[in-house]
Amino acid sequence: MKHILNFPEKFLWGASTASFQVEGGIENCDWAEAAREGRVPVCGAACDHYNRYESDFDIAQKLGHNCHKISIEWARIEPEEGKFDMEAVTHYKNVLNALRARGLEPFVNIWHFTLPLWFSHDGGFLNKKSAARFGRYSEFVAKEILNDVKYVVPINEPEVWVTNGYLRGNWPPFKKNPWKLLIALRNLIKAHKASYYAVKKYHPDALVGPSKDNIYFKATNVNPINQLLAAFMGWWWNRYFLNQTKKETDFIGLNYYFYSPFGPKEELPKTDMGWGIYPEGIYHVLLELGRYHKPVYIMENGLADATDSKRKDFILDHLFQVYRAIQDNVDVKGYLHWSLLDNYEWVFGFERRFGLVEIDFVTQERKIRPSAFVYKHVCETNTIEKEL
C-alpha cells in the first residue's frame, strides 16, 4: 500500500553548489594553476554562474526549492594577502539578495576546496599561520557579506580535501605524505574554530557548522579485523573532526554519497562515478550523528547520472532513509541535493553530470532534467510517497 510520509514542519529543501565548480573565470587559485600546468582539467567558464546566477536561481525557485547553498571564492575576496576586493563583496551580496528575493534561504560556505595562490604558495594549510589567515578572511566575510545569513559553513569536507591533497596526491598540492595530511587536518580544525568565532563576533545568532563528508563504514561479515577497521574509520573519518570542534558547532552539515564495505562487497547499481548506490547508508550515518545532539542539515547528496535514469529513485530512496532517521529521533532539518547544475567535477572535469539541471557547456543552455520535477513535488508537498 502507498503511504504518504511527512517531513517535519519548516523542513528546508534545496540544492548545493560551490563557487569554483560553477562560477567560471577564477584564475588566481591553486586549481586554476594546476590546470595551467596540465595536472587537472581546465575549469574556464564552467557554468558561467557568476553572470547567470539570477536566472539559475529562477530555476531553483521554479523547482520548489526554499533554500540553496553557495560558496564564496576566497581568491576573489582576498586576491592578495590582507587585500580585499570590494567588487567581489558586492557580487556576493547581490547573490544573497537574489536568493532571498526568490524565497531561497541561503547557506553560505566560506571555503570549498580552492585556495588563493598567495595562500597555497605559502604552504597552504601546512603553514602555522593558516588558521589565523582563514580566521581573518572569515572575519572579513562575516563583517561585509554575512548580514542576515542564518547558516554558515566554514569548511567543506575536511577529510576529502586532506586525503586527496596529501595522501592520494591527485589534488593540489599533490603530496603523498600522511604526516602532512595530519598537520593539514589539525590546521583545518583550528581554522574552523577561528572562523566560528569570527562569524559569531559579528552575528551571534548565526548558526555555524561544518559540511562533513561522512561515509557508512560497514563490516560486511563477523571477521574481527573488518569490524575493527569499520569502527576505526568511523572514528577517524566521521567523528574525529566533529569531536575536536564540538564546542564550535551549532549544526552538522552532512554530505553523504556512499558506503565503504570491509569484507565481501554487495553487488550494487552504480552511478557514473562508479560509486555503489547504497541509500541505507545515510540512515546509519545519520544515526551516528545523533550522538552529537545537534540539528543536522544534509548539505550534499546526489549522483553523477548523465542519462537521468537513476536520479529519481536515488533521491526518493535516500529520502526514505532520511525519514527513518527522523523517526528514530535524529534532528534532521533540511536536505540539499548535490547539485543544482552540472558542474566541474574536479579531476573528472565536466563529464560527470551531477545536476538537477543539465548544462550544455558550449552554449550554456540549461535544461531541467525529469528527476528535478520529482524532487520538486517532494519540496512542494514536504512529503514522499512510499510503498510499504
Give the binding site for ligand BGC (CB under 6 A): 18, 21, 156-157, 160, 213, 255, 300, 338, 345, 354
- State the nearest-atom distance from the C-beta of 8 to ligand BGC, in Å: 25
Q: Tell me the helices (H) and strands (E) count for the chain, helix number first.
A: 14, 15
Choice between 142 and 303, CB closer to ligand BGC? 303
- State the nearest-atom distance from the C-beta of 201 to ligand BGC, in Å: 27
Choice between 18 and 207, CB closer to ligand BGC? 18
- Identify the three-state secondary structure at position 216: strand
- State the nearest-atom distance from the C-beta of 257 to ligand BGC, in Å: 6
Q: Beta partners for 212? A: 254
H or E stretch covering 188: helix 178-202
Choice between 78 and 300, CB closer to ligand BGC? 300
- State the nearest-atom distance from the C-beta of 212 to ligand BGC, in Å: 11
Choice between 213 and 331, CB closer to ligand BGC? 213
* CA 301 to centroid of chain Cα atoms: 8
Q: Would you say the C-alpha torsion 232, 233, 237, 239 has a positive or negative sign?
A: negative
| Length reported for the chain | 388
H or E stretch covering 137: helix 130-144
Choice between 320 and 354, CB closer to ligand BGC? 354
Are 79 and 135 a contacting pair, CB within 8 Å? no
Q: Within 13 Å and on the Cβ side, how many CA atoms surround 127?
A: 14
- State the nearest-atom distance from the C-beta of 18 to ligand BGC, in Å: 5
Choice between 30 and 213, CB closer to ligand BGC? 213
- State the nearest-atom distance from the C-beta of 379 to ligand BGC, in Å: 21
Q: Beta partners for 357? A: 341, 368
Are 209 and 248 a contacting pair, CB within 8 Å? no
Helices 178-202, 130-144: inter-axial angle, 10-degree rounding: 30
